[in-house]
Structure 1
Amino acid sequence: MKKRILIIGAGFGGMWSALSATRLLDKHDRNDVEVTVLAPEAVLGVRPRFYEQDVHQMQSPLGPLFDAVGVTFIKGKADTLDVNGKSVSYTGANGDRTSINYDKLVLAAGSRVVRPASIPGIEHAFDVDAMAEAIRLEQHIKALAKQPESATRNTVVVAGGGFTGIETATEMPARLRAALGADANVRVIIVDRGEKVGAALGENISPSIVEATETLGVEWVVNASVAAVDSNGVTLADGRRIDASTVVWTVGVRASSLTEQIPGERDASGRLHVDRNLKVIGQSDIFATGDTAYAATDDAGNFALMTCQHAIALGRSAGNNVAADLLGEAPIPYSQVKYVTCLDLGAWGAVFTEGWDRQVKLTKQEGKTVKQQINSVWIYPPVAEREAALAAADPLIPVVA
């Protein structure tokens, strides 16, 4: 009877885990181990692009890729993990509850934006966290043209001045004018807890953010937070009111709640603490990767962020090491020493940085060229051809050179 490596999730971490595990099994000519992916869809949602328009195009089918390399795909949503019994219960495509056993498990269930229940009216906010929500926002923006012109209709409030908030806000003037007309008097406002513009991304990158948002007419309200949302805008914690027909929530991301079913230490975002091979500390048969793993990237005290850049390498490492663990082979410790960012800043361009202190290397159109390369090429899956796909899953390939 075949042994099974079960991977929960088909995002960046899950997809690359499946390919990397299959790669190592292939290297050792092992046909007695099945690599299975359990996820709601055999589709990679290109989440880093959900702030853009035409979001329905920001996905890539994984069925042909899995078929090419021999990965089994099960369509379903994982509900319950039985760690002692080494099984996972899930809701299948037809709504029936089913369970599947595993020998080794890789949790790659991702993360989600948190909508605080303590904020009245939070259900009125949009987000760009999941495909369905990003599509709902896009449909809403297009429908604004059917409403009578007003300052409220033409205003968007983005809650949160982190990476996602800034990319969403700086893209928004163009998106609004595409819907309302090139001469529309639009207003985009970022509400952020930080003390100054771009505070969440550090001193080095902040001047580029200031220049870009001023050029685009994007406003900042700093030292502030949203206390309530309604269909016509937001009320801030200090009582100030901003009227807006569109509110986009980008604050706070938390790892999948499935992490709570695995005994182990978790960080403030719910990520499971893992060792350098990405095995959950205290568990013999469970690995975590992508946004569910709190993993050291180097020996300098840096830890992986909940980003595509880290999820790709984490996935390659988790897949290799879970297969190595099953085969009794030596693992390859996860390492991702180089860290870069490329922040899209709408029509102004983009800013590309290197290092954890974000030293600026490229800005404006030069930065935008890199961002377009990232968004259109390197974050997408490999071609659905066995040899090429498995070669691309080598854990020693750096995500950024």
Structure 2
Amino acid sequence: LMSPEPRIVIIGAGFAGTMSALSAARLRDAYGAEDGIEIVVVAPEPVLNMRPRLYEDDPAQMSAPLEELFRVTGVRFVEGCVRTINKSTPAVIIEQNNGEQITLGYDRLILAAGSRVVHPPIPGLSEHCFSVDQRHEADELWQHIHELAEQPVSEQRDTVVIAGGGFTGIETAAEMPQRLRTALGKDANVRVVVVERAEAIGPDLGPGPRPVIEEALSSLGVEWMLGKAVTKVDATGVTLEDETRILSKTVIWTGGLRATPLTEQIEAPRDELGRLVVEHDLRVPGNPEIFATGDAASAATDNDGHRTLMSCQHAMPLGRFAGHNAAADLLCAPTMSYSQERYVTCLDLGPWGAAFCEGWDRKVMLSGSAGKKIKEEINSTYIYPPKAEREVALAAAKPGITADV
């Protein structure tokens, strides 16, 4: 499908992809070029999944519609998954939801196809583990927990094992005791165990918030086993590397993330997470017509050596810069260098509250109920797309905007 006008194709409708589309539309509008540049988003469905909220209750509802937002801002949506990036054409090959394939040419490409949780070759992991990575997976876990009440009382039924004590594992664990008691009864003898192969809980979060995390999890009755790895999962529980057995009908895998495999189709440097190491304007080195953003990109946030994390906190600003720069390139306007010097961490700790930290050393500024208030504002307001009103939506996509949290 070729176009007589220059076309920007954006792969992905997550936080970075949505903001890329709106930002490109914003600059196109500012230059009066609405009829001169076509902006196309390719994704399986026109919704923004609230991935940071999938550890919460009723995850099937954690999405925001995008159809009207795209319509009022003049963004075209194509349903399907990009399977191939053909640089020589240049075009992408899309497998539509009905199985048919179409080819879509591009003048500028923005890769915003995100990331997925890594599933290592641990026996039984694929067959017996739940996940909170994707909306349908989190919903399967939610349904499963509610169905546990139909089973006889047992240690297996009442125990949840969370494999991975990082950010997602901690947030999931903190929610789980209350969720289990809601499903099984307030007097149920529930047990929640976090298994982490590192020697500390939240290893990537550093020592700053660790005392708060440990206090919160302890008060909620969550256990953690450190320096141990899961080596096998089966229908009755998990086996650890020291042969310890934990009986459980609910094992949740929260292992690390890896960028979309589409990054491997682009000849350029990638980091250990599979992300494309981009230039300051988010262009992919050696590929002047391709920009990478969100979880598909590793970008410098400042001049102190810090780089973006796989987080909506970075994905949304990255999207604003990527969309702007792709459109600027076609309009012969200067591109902008991405930077985002302020960094915060807000970790949900269930009914206990939350930990709000500032800086890369994650100094705890607020905790408990005060931290929870900020986390609720982030999860209910800041990460959602703007209203489907043209001026409001385009204004929200200006590069450099950050949430005031």
Q: TM-score scaled to structure 1, two decimals?
A: 0.99
- Which residue, out of 57, 64, 67, partners 2:68? 64
Quote the residue 1:169 is aligned against: 173
Partner amino acid, structure 2, of 1:175: R
- Which residue, out of 280, 298, 311, partners 1:307? 311
CA distance in 1 between counterparts of 2:273 and 2:122 reads: 18
User: Conserved in 2, the CA contact under 8 Å of 1:313 and 1:399?
Assistant: no
CA distance in 2 between counterparts of 1:242 and 1:188 reads: 11
Quote the residue 2:258 is aligned against: 254
CA distance in 2 between counterparts of 1:397 and 1:316 reads: 8
Quote the residue 2:16 is aligned against: 13
CA distance in 2 between counterparts of 1:366 and 1:379 reads: 19
RMSD: 0.9
Secondary structure of 1:284's partner? strand
CA distance in 2 between counterparts of 1:291 and 1:204 reads: 25
Secondary structure of 2:22's partner? helix
Secondary structure of 2:330's partner? helix
- Which residue, out of 88, 94, 97, partners 1:93? 97
CA distance in 2 between counterparts of 1:58 and 1:94 reads: 25
Counting aligned pairs with the same residue, the percent is 55
User: Conserved in 2, the CA contact under 8 Å of 1:339 and 1:400?
Assistant: no
CA distance in 1 between counterparts of 2:283 and 2:313 reads: 20
1:2 is the counterpart of 2:2: no
Quote the residue 2:43 is aligned against: 39
Secondary structure of 1:153's partner? helix
CA distance in 2 between counterparts of 1:121 and 1:332 reads: 44
Quote the residue 1:192 is aligned against: 196
CA distance in 1 between counterparts of 2:8 and 2:206 reads: 40
Moved over 4 A (4+): none
Quote the residue 2:30 is aligned against: 27
Partner amino acid, structure 2, of 1:232: T
**Offset of 1:116 from its aligned partner?**
1.1
**Offset of 1:83 from its aligned partner?**
1.2
1:2-401 pair list within 5 angstroms: 2-30=5-33, 31-400=35-404
User: Conserved in 1, the CA contact under 8 Å of 2:122 and 2:233?
Assistant: no
CA distance in 2 between counterparts of 1:327 and 1:390 reads: 18
- The alignment covers a number of residue pairs equal to 401
Partner amino acid, structure 1, of 2:13: A
**Offset of 1:121 from its aligned partner?**
4.0
**Offset of 1:132 from its aligned partner?**
0.8
Secondary structure of 2:85's partner? strand
User: Conserved in 2, the CA contact under 8 Å of 1:198 and 1:210?
Assistant: no
CA distance in 1 between counterparts of 2:277 and 2:88 reads: 19
Gap regions ≥5 residues in structure 1:
none
User: Conserved in 1, the CA contact under 8 Å of 2:195 and 2:229?
Assistant: yes
